[in-house]
Amino acid sequence: MVRLADSEVRTREVLGWKGLHLFHHPISSCSQKVRIFLNIKGVKWESHIVDLAATANMDEWYLGINPRGLVPALVHDGEVHIESNDVLLHLERAFPQPCLLPDDQFGAIGKLLHHEDELHLDLRSLSLRFVFNPASNPKTPEVLDRYARSGSGLLNGARDLGKEEQMRFWRNYAREGVTDETVRLSVARFRAEFDELERRLAMQFFLMGDSLTVLDIAWFIYVNRLTVAGYPVARLHPRLHGWFSSLQARPEFAAEVALPPGLAQHVERTRALHAADATTLVDIAGLGPH
């Protein structure tokens, strides 16, 4: 689990905070995952929104809490936890009811969550191209330079390879954006995972059996984002679509993934532009009819 050593927390004030404090952003997929988990647990927490559009996640103050500059980050009674799946595992231990991570499934779910996390950069690539579609690079050279210089650069006493991965992603994005080849590779990886989930759902109502677990929350977020990006879940994976729709009908899920009106309109305009020049996700990935 990724808990920062106290010596690695440079924004020292948070070490004295009591209770649950979540640093998050409304549209961040990983933030949505943690908020749904907290909704189901019925746990009270204090909200600290990190303005990603203003690159506040790469300011020195926030990098003093999460040296990777990612959201969410959790401060629980002065302990700092980063990485969304590790935050969920910590919260499950701290607030075990209702149970979302049964003891007899802990190992299996942990491995599957790690596998899901490996797709995060694929999700970011598809989101940047088909959901957010920014007019310019959201991470300027000045922002990346500040990011590189700030924060401890350490995680549990070792060089933080996760931050280096973030730097590589944004520098590559500055050079070439999200290419068609990147789209095809990312969609292929998601399609393979969705096919596996489709097989699971042929035998059970939830991904791990007859009860909702943290794995359902994690994959719900990915299916939601891919749906917004234009991936044809209902056509290619009908059982997965049914599972997703049943969860989306629950208020503790729906409230956290609803698009703000401005972003919803932006997504519609982006889809119309891509449809006009045949550059939708479906077109580029070769997924057949729209």
Whole-model pTM: value is 0.95
In this structure, the strands spanning 158-159 and 46-49 are unpaired
Span 17-51, pLDDT tens digits: 999 999 999 999 999 999 999 999 999 999 999 99
Residues constituting the chain:
290
Alpha-carbon span 260 to 27, nearest angstrom? 9
Give 183 or 8, the one with higher predicted confidence. 183
Tell me the pLDDT tens digit for each residue of 77-92.
Answer: 999 999 999 999 999 9
Separation CA 150–CA 37 (nearest Å): 31
Residue 132 has a pLDDT of: 96
Provide the token pair at 182: 């990147």
- CA-based angle 169:172:175, to the nearest 5? 150
Confidence (pLDDT) at 186: 98
Say whether 74 sits in a helix, a strand or coil.
strand
Ranked by mean pLDDT, the top range of 5-9, 156-160, 184-188 is 184-188
Please state the rounded mean pLDDT for residues 170-180.
Answer: 95
Say what percent of the chain tops pLDDT 70.
99
| pLDDT higher than 80, residue 239 | yes
Least reliable range by pLDDT among 25-34, 140-149, 235-244, 259-268 = 140-149
pLDDT at residue 250 greater than cutoff 90 = yes
Given a contact cutoff of 8 angstroms between Cβ atoms, the answer to whether 4 and 155 are in contact is: yes
- 290 has a pLDDT exceeding 80: no
**pLDDT score, position 1:** 57
- pLDDT score of 178 more than 70: yes
Q: Is 42 left (phi over 0), alpha (psi -120 to 50) or beta?
A: left
Integer Cα distance of 71 and 48 in angstroms: 10
Chain-wide mean pLDDT for the chain? Answer: 94
Confidence of residue 244 (pLDDT cuts 50, 70, 90): very high
pLDDT in tens, 103-142: 899 888 888 888 888 999 999 999 999 999 998 888 999 9
Q: Which residues contact 146 (CB under 8 A, 6 or more apart)?
A: 58, 59, 60
Domains of the chain and any CATH numbers:
1-98+138-176 (3.40.30.10), 113-134+180-284 (1.20.1050.10)
Residue type, 171: R
